Amino acid sequence: MFNSLNKISVTIKSEIKNIKDLTELNNFKSKYLGKKSIITLYFSKLALVNIPERIQCSSILNTFKRKIKHKIIQKKSSLRNRFLSDQAQSSYLDYSLPGRRIERGSLHPITMIINEIKEIFYQWGFVIYSGPELENIYYNFDSLNIPINHPSRSMGDTFWFDSNHVLRTQTSSAQMRILKKYSYPIKAIVPGKVFRRDFDHTHTPMFHQIEGLIVDKSISFSNLKWILKNLVIKIFKKNIKIRFRSSYFPFTCPSAEVDIQNKFGDWIEILGCGMVHPNVLKNFNIDRNIYSACAFGMGVERIAMLKYSLSDIRYFFENDIRFLKQFV
């Protein structure tokens, strides 16, 4: 056996020297260390010899097996190094080139404003609610005291889905849904998309509103003014002149529009508000002798335009990367 292994060893040295890739090396390994190899055959015959010879033969076979494994490891390392060397020579890498820049994204500016406003109202104890964008006309018009002949019900002003459903024209449509879901007293805001048939530099067919509703005992216009004045200060991070101008909405009485003064001294409307109309409270089955309510609705895009000094609302929806990168 010893002589036979010496002859195999010479053959192994010759064969392993001519191996050119890992496939040939794996075949070589199977040939000399696999289940049908000569080494395995010798190990299987050890049971036929007596114990002293078996110990001696086992030692010789294990030593031979370790030598083969060592040669295979050396050859594998040699082949890998040769592969890397060939690959380096076949391709050129310019180490002076700058690395690839990973672009950093950010939230859309409208989303940033909505999140900021939601955080402010969350700190004031408001519930944040979301209603459906495809709305029943009862919630969108009738429950809000909007008469059948009101311009907002016309085909030219509103997107009608069928005779009973519209794409909501205002987030005020969620007021009844809030009072059905939550018991009052309640403080809630409703951020979301609304839809109207307008399109110019200050209007788009889809835009975002945030509705606010407070129902409690002894709620007055003073409470509403305090909330809106402090909201403006927190959004714009500075004291801004603000005024309440008398207005009309079917679902509030008295009603007001809120204007702020820009750096040029011009007054710009940012939201509408008022005390919830008695007819609306009646639709909500609220006892007007015990509870009162106020509401407000603001356009998110209008606030964003003022905060970021933009002149055209359409910038927000044109997906111009040059514009959006300013908010990263």
Residue 36 tokens, joined: 């049908």
pLDDT at 3: 65
pLDDT at 99: 80
pLDDT at 269 over 70: yes
- Please provide the DSSP assignment of 137-200 as one string: HHHHTGGGT--TT-GGGSTTTS-EEETTEEE-S-GGGGHHHHHHHSPSSEEEEEEEEEE-S--B
Residue 282 tokens, joined: 């009646």
Q: How confident is the model at residue 5 (pLDDT cuts 50, 70, 90)?
A: low
Residue 284 tokens, joined: 């909500």
The domain ranges of the chain are: 2-90, 109-327
Which whole number is the average pLDDT over 159-181?
Answer: 88
Closest by CA to 199, choosing from 245, 261, 157, is 157
CATH homologous superfamily of 109-327 equals Bira Bifunctional Protein; Domain 2 (3.30.930.10)
Question: pLDDT tens-digit profile of 275-328?
Answer: 998 888 888 888 888 889 999 999 998 898 888 888 888 888 888 888 888 887
Task: Please state, in angstroms and rounded to a whole number, the distance separating the CA atoms of residues 165 and 239.
Answer: 42
Beta carbons of 219 and 204 less than 8 angstroms apart: no
Residue 23 tokens, joined: 């496939």
Question: pLDDT tens-digit profile of 65-109?
Answer: 788 888 888 888 888 888 878 777 776 777 788 888 877 778 899
Fill in the amino acid letter for 125: G
